[in-house]
Structure 1
Amino acid sequence: MNLINEEITHKVFGEGNIVDQDASFITIEFNNDTKKFVYPNAFGKFITLNDQNTAKSLKKILSKREIEEEALERKRQEEKEQQALERRHREKLKNNRIHESSQIVFWLDEEEQQNVFTDWQVFTGKVQSGKSKGQPNRATRVSTNSAGLLTAREPDQAETERRILGLYMVNETFAGNLSDDGMIPSHAAFRIELTDQEAEKMLFWNYYINKSYPNRTKWNSGKYRYFDNVWTAQILKDIIALKTDEAQIKESKKFLEYFCQMNALDMNNIPEANGALKQ
């Protein structure tokens, strides 16, 4: 806004006239002196424009600038907090070695398939033998860096038809070795539910492989098994490619970013899936 030749009133120096202006300063000529002031900070504090219309126009500009500066400061603060979070996470990784297979994959029964996307938690099942028989299983590897992978197949389907129905990050306060009830709750922000059509394209055995028997597609028994961290990143990457809704794509990308951060993985260098069905 060009303010040259505008008349002003200064709280101390009285009446004056603006004779020069740039992005950072204005120069004002008073009766016996010429002084330079910071622009636009001096307005509203020490200097008032005499022309009311010009003063209103300047006030709008200053208000807009103030809003922009507040937004910029909030962004700086958010970035500062994020950097602090990342530093704490890196320190945690140094002190606590992450197991390469600290994800958990569930075989959901029919009732769980109906409820899991409402409850967003899964029961690990009960110990089948030994002195702890009948007590809830403790998934000791599962912690805040873990994701819970949700899978199912129909009773008349082959194991190769096992579908991925969705997944969630484990609640940020959860520790499997301290859990007594066998329930693995989800993180409130990181949850993905696949449609039936999407699940048909996300076959579990495209990712899982028994390294000793690479062609074997056999679950055997048990409610859950542990799952490789990299395989989970591969699944998230493929879900992003599968999704067509922009909001869901954005949410899936945030999920992958958080997952890789929590598991010390480079999200830009995730290898292609190479599970048993791809051998």
Structure 2
Amino acid sequence: MNLLNEKVTHKVFGNGKIVGQDESIITVDFNEDIKRFVYPDAIGTFISLKDKDTAKSLKKIISKKETEQKAVEKKREEKKKQKTLELQRIKQLKNHKIHESSQIVFWLDENEQQSVFTDWQVSTGKIKSGPNKGQPNRAARLRPNSAALLTVREENQAETDRQIIGLYMVKETFAGNLSEDGMVPAHAYYRIKLTEQEAEKMLFWNYYKNKNYPHRTSWNSGKYRYFDNVWTAQILKDIMALKTDEEERKQVKSFLEYFLKMNLLDINHIPKACGALKQ
């Protein structure tokens, strides 16, 4: 706001006129006694504008700036707090030997799509080369804190259309590095199956992001890949929002609470999904 030539009153220096102004300083002439003040802090504290309409307009501007500044400071504090909590989480994960990407996502073939919701287990496949060729491919990161995410993509679909059709926690006694047959069995209770309509709204690439190539949506090869713990929590929250049946919502809520506990996550500090499709 332009305050040049505005008449003012100072508690000590008396009457004066503003003769200079920039973003942070105003210069006031008190009968050739030139003084500089911090703007806008001095207005209303040490200096009063004589024109009431100008003073009222300036007060609104200052109030708006203060509100904006408080919002910026609040956001900065929240970001700082989030960073501190994330560092604490990573430290806890290391102390508890929980990898920050200890979840697994499967690309189900046609047969598995038919059997997974009856057998509630998925194979990690066989090693394709090297001295251990033909042996079960052990997903070594998997522990009782891990969830198995189930995804599908038809041959005529683009990779960006990959859907999440369900997920389950692994069996509470399971350890991937000790698996003899390469099968990843489900927990007896924590299991979720999505309807076709729900799956259409749960696109895998809304959550998954290659940190080196955030816009890339390519699976390339392999039957499974590891998945971030936080991303899985985001998926569970979104599934809970999708469910309309009260009993199903309770089941998902119970699943989410168990998952958060097992992975040392706080529901209040789960960021919004920002996968490759959201970049």
Q: TM-score range by the shorter chain?
A: 0.5 to 0.7
- Aligned-residue offset at 1:93: 6.3
Instruction: Look up the match of 1:130.
Output: 130
Q: In the TM superposition, what is the alpha-carbon distance from 1:268 to its structure 2 partner?
A: 2.2
| 1:173 equivalent in alignment to 2:157 | no
CA distance in 2, matches of 1:247, 1:113: 24
Q: Distance in 1 between matches of 2:256 and 2:129?
A: 37
Counterpart CA distance in 2 for 1:198 and 1:262 is 26
Sequence identity percentage: 75
Matches within 5 A, 1:251-270: 251-270=251-270
Q: Deviations over 1:187-230 (max 9, x none)?
A: 00100000000000000000000010010000000010000000
Q: Which stretches in structure 2 are left out of the alignment for 5+ residues?
A: 1-91
TM-score (norm 2): 0.66
Secondary structure of the 1:215 match is coil
- The aligned residue for residue 106 of structure 2 is 106
**TM-score, normalised to structure 1's length?**
0.66
Distance 1:199 1:159 in 2: 15
Give distance in 1, aligned partners of 2:224 and 2:94: 28
User: What's 2:234 paired with?
Assistant: 234
Corresponding pairs, count: 188
- 2:236 partner letter: L
Q: Where do residues 110-259 of structure 1 align in structure 2 (5 Å cutoff)?
A: 110-259=110-259
Name the structure 2 match of 1:63: none
Distance 1:155 1:276 in 2: 21
CA distance in 1, matches of 2:212, 2:233: 22
1:38-117 alignment, distance < 5 Å = 95-117=95-117
Structure 1: distance between partners of 2:261 and 2:93: 10
Q: Please give the alpha-carbon distance, in whole angstroms, between the structure 1 residues aligned to 2:233 and 2:194.
A: 16
Deviation at 1:96, TM superposition (A): 2.6
1:62-112, CA deviations, whole angstroms, 9 ceiling, x for partnerless residues? Answer: xxxxxxxxxxxxxxxxxxxxxxxxxxxxxx968532100000000000000
Q: Deviations over 1:116-146 (max 9, x none)?
A: 0000000000001100011110000001000
Q: Secondary structure at the match of 1:98?
A: coil
* CA distance, structure 2, for counterparts of residue 94 and residue 143 of structure 1: 14
Return structure 1 stretches of 4+ with deviation > 3 angstroms. Answer: 92-95
Q: C-alpha deviations, 1:155-176, integer Å up to 9, x for none?
A: 0000000000000000000000
Q: In 2, Cα distance between the equivalents of 1:216 and 1:166? A: 23
Asked if the contact 2:106–2:151 (Cα under 8 Å) also holds between the matched residues in 1, the reply is: yes
